Structure formats: structure tokens, C-alpha cells
Amino acid sequence: MSRTSLATRVAVASLLVALVASVVAALSATRVLGQQNREAARAALATEADALALALADHPAARWASVVDGLRAPLAEQGVDVVAIGPRGALTGPDAAVEAVRLAGVGSPADASRVVVVGRTARLVEARAAGAGGVALVQTYSPGLRGPAARAIWVGALIGLAGAAVAGAALSGVVSRPLRRVAAAAHRLREGRRDLRVPVEGPREVADVAVSVNELAASLERSEGRERAFLHSVSHELRTPLTAVRGYAESIADGVTTGEEARRAGATILAEAGRLDRLVGDLLDLARLGADDFHLDLADVDLAAVVDAAGQVWQGHGERSGVPVTVRSPERLVVRTDPGRVRQVIDVLADNALRVTPPGRPVVLELSTSADGATLEVRDAGPGLAPEDYPVAFERGVLHERYRAQRAGSSGIGLNLAAGLVTRLGGRISAHPAPEGGAAFRVDLPRTPAAGAQLSG
């Protein structure tokens, strides 16, 4: 569907406003000047009537007819008709002028000033008493404004209209030009460009749109960069165990590895397969977190029992790695949550802590009661994080990308998955330095999840 542009609309709107303003101003000026002209014409006619009345007063009544007849011709050249008024109200003069005097209500010698309409023609009537009789002057009057004054008014209105059209066109350009640039940049963004930025110019609202588009482009650039890094990381993590599985499987299939070596190769294949299974499981859970059908089995759970059970498993892992794992929890701490998802969070955080902690240094799993519910902390004595890394610790793949060379063995999605699970459970997760010297990850769970957390349960 074809639509008019903003520039056209602004220009047309400006032109219409200017047109209405010009017409109203011209009509008002014409009306005012017309009234002024009428008053001026009445004043001039009144002056002539006063002068004529004085002249007739100096002559006997018998000579009035000759005096009036002598004045008819020169006054007629000025568009003024003379009507003589007898002592008894008799009117003598041109028929149209006599009719105007009658309509003015002048039936006897008296002073009067009227405007009457005779046959759709306006006439000014100025009557004066003079001695025993009187006289009336009648002049045709055009209420409209004509001549040079009217032309000047309408020419001025047209000039103003033309100026408004030029100003409207300029204004439409000022408004629409930045918007066209923003629209062009948005089209480029849709096509995949992320390096474009729009000049911030024009009115404040238009400039705000440009700023928003620039921020969107920068955000998309960062997000897609992280997505690429994440995919690269995940592909690397998948390829490593797959390479081991394939290599050992080929050696067994070809008969190169036999006997005890085949048994050890099978154990390695099994371990790598488990690693692949955990990685794929994490990826699936991470994808499901954003879905409406993500399932939570909410129940009244003794978190102390959950933490103790997880602690026993991780204490065994710690013994094999030479890392002592300490578990601290109250005898009983009941909250309403999903025990399976809580255990998943504990496993992610404990695995992360055990992997970075050197032999002989501790890892601590501590559960305590808080005002709102329960607090679980997993602390380690590893190398910790830089101060600027704690706020971004749960963003997907950020820590993995920064520490990949120093701390191998992570898929880079565990902390992000843990943060998503805690949020779904209605809790909060945070990271800060640990008193043991490494990093501490704190999970605060409510005693009862809010309604929003239970929508998927």
C-alpha cells in the first residue's frame, strides 16, 4: 500500500496552516479596512451635508430649489445625490435617492445619519435641517474593499503563503532527512550489517531514535560476537571427547588395542561419552530455560538433605583430586523448590570449584538460613576472578573465553545454566571473592517461590 512520506505530510500541513492563516488574516484586514472606509465616507458625506445646510440657511426658502439644482451636477460627479426636504416632508430629487431617504425614516426636516439598502445596494444617507426645510445627501457605498488596498492585502497573503511553503519544505527536510538515514541503517541491520552507526542529529525525538538504533546495533554486534565465541567454544568442547572416542574405537576395531589396553580404552571411551552426555544435557537445559514448557517439580524439600547428599558425592571426587571438600549445613531447612534443579545447580558450582582448586586447597559447600529462605554458598581456594569478572560471571561463555588458556576443561555454559535455573526457581545468584582465597558463588532461594517462578511448574 502506497503511503505518503513524512516530508510530504509536513510540507502539506505547513502549507494548509499557512493558507488558513493567510485567508483569515486577509479577510480580517479587508473587513477592518472596509469598516474604516465606510466611516470615512460617512464622515466626508456628513461634512458636505453640514456645509450644504449652512449654505441653505443663508438663503431664503424660495431660492432653495435653485441652490440645490446648482449643486446637483457637481455633487453627482462625486457620486452624491441631493434630496430637498420640504417643510411638510416633501422629498424632491432622483428617485433612487428619494427612496433611500424614505427608507432612512427621514419624513421631516431633521438631522439624521443612516445606512440603508436599496435594491441590494448600500447607500449612505446624511440629512440636515435648514430653516423651515432641510436637505439630504445620498451616496452609494460598496461595503467590500477594492482597488490598490485590496490588491496589496491579497498579494501580501500570497507572498506569506509562498514563504510558508518554502519554510514547510525546509522543515520537512530537517525532520525527514535524519529519519531516512535511520531507516536506511535499520534496513542494513536487517540485512546483517552490524558496523553501521547513524549520525545523531535533528530534533530531540529524532535524535533519540538515532541513539536507540546505534545502541541496538552495538548490542547486536556484542551479542552476535558472544554467540560466535560460544559456538566456537562448544564445538571445541564437543570435538575433544569425540576425537578421543573415535581414536580409541578405531584402534579397538582395527585390533591394534587388545587385552588390558582395550579395557583401559573402553573405560576412556565410557568417560568421554559421559562427558559428552553431560555437555549435551547442559545445552538442552540451557535451551529449555527460555521455553514456556520448562518443567519444575515444586515440593516442600529439606535442603539440608539435598546438600548433604551432594556433598558426599563431591567429597569423593575431591579425594581423588586431592582437594578436601567441606560440607556445612543445619540439621533441617525446608523450602518449597525443585530438589532436582537445586542439585543440578550444586553440581555445576561444585564441579566448577573443584576443577580450578589446586590439590591441598579446600572447597566449601555451606547452607544456612536467611530471612527470606535459604542461602547456599560454594567457595573455593582457587585462583579466583578479576574484580571486573564477578559482575559478568554468569553471562554465557564470558569466563570461558577469558580463562580458556589457563583453566581448561570447561564447556563455558555451566555458570550461565546455573543462573538460569536459580532464576526459574525464584532465587538470586551472585559471585564475590571467597575468604578461602578463591571465588564464592552464592544462591539465595526463597522459602516459597513467587507466582512467576511457578508458571512452568
For residue 108, is it within any domain?
yes
Beta-bridge mates of residue 369: 374
For residue 164, is it within any domain?
no
For residue 165, is it within any domain?
no
CATH number, domain of 254, equals 1.10.287.130
Give the integer Cα–Cα distance in Å for 454 and 10. Answer: 51
**Co-location of 142 and 240 in the same domain:** no
What predicted TM-score, i.e. pTM, was given to this entire model? 0.49
What is residue 428's predicted lDDT score, i.e. its pLDDT?
93
**Co-location of 325 and 437 in the same domain:** yes
**Co-location of 308 and 446 in the same domain:** yes
**Co-location of 349 and 407 in the same domain:** yes
CATH number, domain of 34, equals 3.30.450
Q: Which of 149, 167, 202 is the last residue of a domain?
A: 149
For residue 132, is it within any domain?
yes
For residue 416, is it within any domain?
yes
What is residue 177's predicted lDDT score, i.e. its pLDDT?
73
**Co-location of 334 and 441 in the same domain:** yes
**Co-location of 237 and 316 in the same domain:** no
Q: Which of 132, 149, 166 is the last residue of a domain?
A: 149
For residue 442, is it within any domain?
yes
Tally of domains within the chain: 3
Nearest residue to 310 via CA among 270, 366, 252, 370:
366
**Co-location of 447 and 425 in the same domain:** yes
**Co-location of 281 and 321 in the same domain:** no
Sort 95 into a burial class: Cβ within 10 Å, 0-12 / 13-18 / 19+. exposed
Please name the residue ranges forming H helices in 58-127. Answer: 64-77, 95-103
**Co-location of 437 and 393 in the same domain:** yes
What is residue 1's predicted lDDT score, i.e. its pLDDT?
43
Give the integer Cα–Cα distance in Å for 393 and 388. Answer: 9
Q: SS3 of 443, please?
A: strand
Nearest residue to 440 via CA among 395, 375, 396:
375
**Co-location of 283 and 311 in the same domain:** no
CATH number, domain of 394, equals 3.30.565.10
For residue 28, is it within any domain?
yes
What is residue 178's predicted lDDT score, i.e. its pLDDT?
73
Alpha-carbon distance values, 66 to 72, 128, 146 (Å):
10, 18, 37
**Co-location of 241 and 374 in the same domain:** no
For residue 196, is it within any domain?
no
Q: Which of 99, 118, 149 is the last residue of a domain?
A: 149
Give the integer Cα–Cα distance in Å for 456 and 242. Answer: 35
Domain, as residue range, for 240:
229-288
Q: Mean pLDDT of successive 10-residue segments in the chain (457 residues)?
A: 57 66 66 70 80 71 64 76 77 80 73 78 80 78 60 68 67 69 77 76 75 81 69 64 79 80 81 74 68 75 93 89 92 91 90 90 93 92 89 79 59 78 90 92 88 46
**Co-location of 255 and 329 in the same domain:** no
